[in-house]
A and B are shown apart, each in its own frame.
Chain A
Amino acid sequence: MHVNNLGSRRHFLATSAMGLGSVALACLLNDEGLLASPDKPELEPKRYDLLPKPPHYPPRANAMISFFMQGGPSQIDLFDPKPELDRLNGQKFTGEVKYDSAAQASTKIMSSLWKFKHYGHCGMEMSELLPHIGSVADEICLVRSMHTGVNNHGSSIFAMNTGRIQPGRPALGSWLTYGLGTETQDLPAFVVLTDPGGVPVEGVLNWSNGWLPSLYQGTVVRPREPRILNLDPPSYMSADTQQRYLSLLGSMNQQHLERHPGELDLEARIASYELAAHMQTAAKEAIDISRESEAVHKLYGIDDPKTREFGTRCLMARRLVERGVRFVQICTGNQDWDHHLLIRKKLPEQCLRTDKPSGALVRDLKDRGLLDTTLVQWGGEMGRLPVIQNDNGEKAGRDHNTYGFSMWMAGGGIKGGMTYGETDEFAHRAVKDVVTHCDYHATLLHLFGLDHTQLTYKHNGVEKSLVDGQACHVVKELLA
């Protein structure tokens, strides 16, 4: 057997090409007094994992399900009734408006196209299009004064989902799992249930770990079978032979890591194998809704073709949270709520497919005693304008509005049966008790027992956080 003791080509290049050059450079810089003084050394290489971690103070919530209604559901037609708009319907809007699509813009006021109803003991006013969400009004806190102030989808999505309007930052689920780990090591900590209508605008950035360790990236579950690809090992592999295979691979990777200490991606990949092995059985069980009773299927509308798809994913979300997953995001399709056009036809379609399952999830969590500790959030990255876009009969729609829009939350320490904040008389701009995306984030971290100024990660020498030094406060009025 031929043995080459001179080392590999790779080793030769690694040690010679950069090696001597960098030593020489360091010597020169040192001689010239230009070499920066070393940063305070880390005593131990940092280790990251997904084991449960205690928060800063006792939490109210330990899991979150976020309904990401991407596109911008119309607050005017769904959540924020304005008698003044009804009175001025069809007249000229004299206030200042920021349009996204100026070419089709008009200044003609269009009041809500649907009636509002009082729901629950609290009498919360919401659209007739949302009877099932209305049926859990007493659990809901409806915020009518959301504000991101950046008028296009991508930037506003980044604001709501990552804390700032720029891309490249960790998603909410990544921050929560970085801060708290997760309650089960058999399932991913951060799961995204995508829609058959495509992924939200900005795609994979919505569940990116940004500059947090790769361990905290979201795991996507597909909207159709097989929901998780490659979950089954080949037929000739038994539990025993697979275990031997994985321990060989694990030990090779461990020896490799010892030669490359502190490389977070390598550690994440090792952890990812451990998770994958557990997932083969645990994930299959977790998303198998056939194990649920007929009554539960009915509750979520799984017996009805109109609500089956969305209902199935809502029920999966409950099963995942029940099994210890920290953060689940349920997406609607790409721009599903972006009703520039044909709002009369398209908004009711979206409501019809999502209303019943959304309400069912809150009710089901409540019935199982999970709502107390599970924060549910429902909303998009923007709302809509009180004036018509595409003023052409049935084609009418509404343009973007990030200056005043609505979202709701329930459970996890949120006060039920209350509405908070107000827009002006046109449901256009948030004017009273404004809640910015940063206020929302500080509040949700607070519910998890995390202080938004303390949950930080050092990136490029700077301590970064979800709110990232932007002015914000915990909205105490929303807390139960």
Chain B
Amino acid sequence: SLILMNSDFLLEQGECLAQRVEKASTDIKAQIDLAWRLVFSRPPETMELEQAAAFLHDQTAAFKAAAPKATAGKPAKSPGLLAMANLCQALLSSNEFLYVD
């Protein structure tokens, strides 16, 4: 579980997926829908969609409040992207993705 939570590999994959869904649409719900389809090969259920949107809202606000600073010449990542990267990492770390039915 520590690998899935904190390893560079998983963090990177979460971020790549976040960039891909953000590029596809500006609508948050469409982004969530695409993430679900890419990871689980199914659309999210209504409740899942709402849960994910609420998570993105709260997490973005928290990252904004903490305002990560640019370090060593690298530009700071936007709070919205970090939140979406969190969501994507959660999908990639979920039992539905990890275990074959």
A residues with CB within 8 A of B = 1, 3-4, 7-11, 14, 228-236, 238, 240-242, 244-246, 248-249, 251-253, 255-257, 260, 263, 265-266, 269-270, 272-273, 275-277, 279-280
Contacts and interface: CB of A to CB of B under 8 A. Distances in A.
Given A234-B11, A249-B90, A273 B62 contact: no
Contact of A279 (B2, B33, B89): B2
Contacts of A263: 99
Nearest to B86: A245
26 contacts: A1-B29, A1-B30, A1-B33, A8-B42, A11-B42, A229-B7, A230-B2, A230-B5, A230-B7, A238-B66, A240-B62, A242-B5, A244-B55, A244-B59, A244-B62, A245-B90, A246-B5, A248-B51, A248-B90, A249-B94, A251-B51, A252-B48, A256-B95, A256-B96, A276-B1, A277-B5
B33 A10 contact: no
Interface string B16-60: 000000000001011001000000111100001001100100110
Contacts, number: 101
A270 B51 contact: no
A272 B40 CA distance: 22
A116 to B, nearest CB: 47
Interface string B64-89: 00101000000001000010001101
Given A244-B58, A273-B5, A276-B1, A256 B94 contact: yes
A10 B95 contact: no
A249 B77 CA distance: 22
A256 B98 CA distance: 11
Contacts of A280: 2, 6
Contacts of B52: 248
B62 A7 contact: no
Contact of A231 (B6, B40, B90): B6
B40 A236 contact: no
Contacts of A234: 6, 11
Given A241-B59, A245-B86, A269 B2 contact: no
Contacts of A238: 62, 66
B95 A229 contact: no
B2 A14 contact: no
Contacts of B90: 245, 248-249, 252
Contacts of B48: 252, 255
Nearest to B45: A255
B94 A8 contact: no
A36 to B, nearest CB: 25
Give 6 nearest A-B pairs by CB, closest first. Answer: A276-B1, A8-B42, A230-B6, A230-B2, A272-B1, A249-B90
Interface of B: 1-7, 11, 27, 29-30, 33, 40-43, 48, 51-52, 55, 58-59, 62-63, 66, 68, 77, 82, 86-87, 89-91, 93-96, 98-99, 101
A5 B7 CA distance: 36
A257 B95 contact: yes
A241 B55 CA distance: 10
Nearest to A8: B42
A277 B62 CA distance: 19
A466 to B, nearest CB: 28
A7 B93 CA distance: 22
Contact of A266 (B3, B27, B29, B99): B99
A435 to B, nearest CB: 39
Given A10-B41, A244-B59, 20 more contacts: A8-B41, A8-B42, A236-B77, A241-B63, A241-B66, A241-B86, A244-B62, A245-B86, A245-B89, A245-B90, A246-B5, A251-B51, A252-B90, A252-B94, A252-B96, A253-B95, A256-B96, A270-B95, A273-B5, A276-B5
A334 B90 CA distance: 38
B25 to A, nearest CB: 9
Contact of B42 (A7, A240, A244): A7
A269 B1 contact: yes
Contact of B62 (A235, A241, A265): A241
Contacts of A257: 95
Contacts of B33: 1
A236 B58 contact: no
Contacts of B63: 236, 241
A276 B2 contact: yes
A14 B100 CA distance: 11
A451 B90 CA distance: 43
A236 B93 contact: no
B3 A229 contact: yes
Contacts of A276: 1-2, 5
